[in-house]
Amino acid sequence: MRHKKHTEHSLQSACIEWFRLQYPKYALNLFAIPNGAKRTAINGKYYVKEGLTKGVADCFLAVASDELHGIFIEFKSERGTQTDAQKEFQFAVMKTDYAYWVVRDIDNFMSAINNYLK
């Protein structure tokens, strides 16, 4: 069995690569939010003061569509589950007209992106 984080990393990397090839005009509008990176206690406090927030999604697509302002995307392995902080973040952004997707495979990502951007 593959390590959960490796699986999520591979999925996220494949989705980003596909997106940038399919939608080059929006290539810079889809970006990672590296909240899960390992940090020292000192660095952690530093980044929290700058706005690092527990539970924020893995990526953000800064493209409005219809009544939505953009999409926060959380990548999860097949069996991965959201933390309480991730669920709290999801509900907070969805209340303010942002989409929030949990993506478990590249086919789901491609279909959702294509539908959102058409």
| Total domain count, the chain | 1
Quickly state the pLDDT bin for 102 (edges 50, 70, 90).
very high
pLDDT score of 84: 97
Query: Is residue 71 over pLDDT 80?
Result: yes
pLDDT score of 2: 47
Instruction: Look at the block and give the residue holding tokens 């996220």.
Output: 12
Q: Identify any residues that bridge with 31 across adjacent strands, giving them in sequence order.
A: 60
Quickly state the pLDDT bin for 7 (edges 50, 70, 90).
confident
Q: Give the whole-angstrom CA distance, residue 34 versus residue 43.
A: 14
pLDDT score of 1: 40
Domain containing residue 27: 4-117
More confident residue, 118 or 44: 118
pLDDT tens sequence across 8-46: 999 999 999 999 999 999 999 999 998 766 667 777 677
Query: Residue 26 belongs to a domain with what CATH number?
Result: 3.40.1350.10
